[in-house]
A and B are shown apart, each in its own frame.
Chain A
Amino acid sequence: DSGVTQTPKHLITATGQRVTLRCSPRSGDLSVYWYQQSLDQGLQFLIQYYNGEERAKGNILERFSAQQFPDLHSELNLSSLELGDSALYFCASSVGPSVAGREQFFGPGTRLTVL
Chain B
Amino acid sequence: TQLLEQSPQFLSIQEGENLTVYCNSSSVFSSLQWYRQEPGEGPVLLVTVVTGGEVKKLKRLTFQFGDARKDSSLHITAAQPGDTGLYLCAAQGAQKLVFGQGTRLTINP
Give the number of residues in B that approach A within 8 Å (Cβ atoms). Answer: 22
Task: Verify B100–A108 contact, CB threshold 8 A.
Answer: no
B80 interface residue (CB < 8 Å to A): no
**Which of B11-19, B37-45, B52-60, B61-69 lies at the interface with chain A?**
B37-45
Partner of A103 from the list B48, B98, B100 (CB cut-off 8 Å) is: B48
A sample of 26 inter-chain contacts (CB < 8 A) reads A2-B42, A2-B44, A4-B42, A42-B88, A43-B102, A44-B99, A45-B96, A45-B97, A45-B98, A45-B99, A55-B95, A56-B96, A58-B96, A90-B43, A98-B95, A99-B95, A99-B97, A100-B30, A100-B31, A101-B50, A106-B43, A106-B44, A107-B42, A108-B40, A108-B41, A108-B42
Instruction: Tell me whether chain B's interface is mostly helix, strand or loop, or mixed.
Output: loop
Residues from 57 to 115 in A contacting B, C-beta threshold 8 Å: 58, 90, 92, 98-101, 103-104, 106-109
* Chain B residues, CB < 8 A from A107: 42
B7 interface residue (CB < 8 Å to A): no
For the complex formed, measure the closest distance between the CB of A8 and the CB atoms of chain B, giving whole angstroms.
14
For the complex formed, measure the closest distance between the CB of A57 and the CB atoms of chain B, giving whole angstroms.
9
A48 interface residue (CB < 8 Å to B): yes
* Chain A residues, CB < 8 A from B102: 42-43
Bound complex: CA A44 to CA B100 (Å): 9
Instruction: Tell me whether chain A's interface is mostly helix, strand or loop, or mixed.
Output: loop
Task: Verify B92–A101 contact, CB threshold 8 A.
Answer: yes
Give the number of residues in A that approach B within 8 Å (Cβ atoms). Answer: 22
Partner of A104 from the list B41, B45, B50, B100 (CB cut-off 8 Å) is: B45
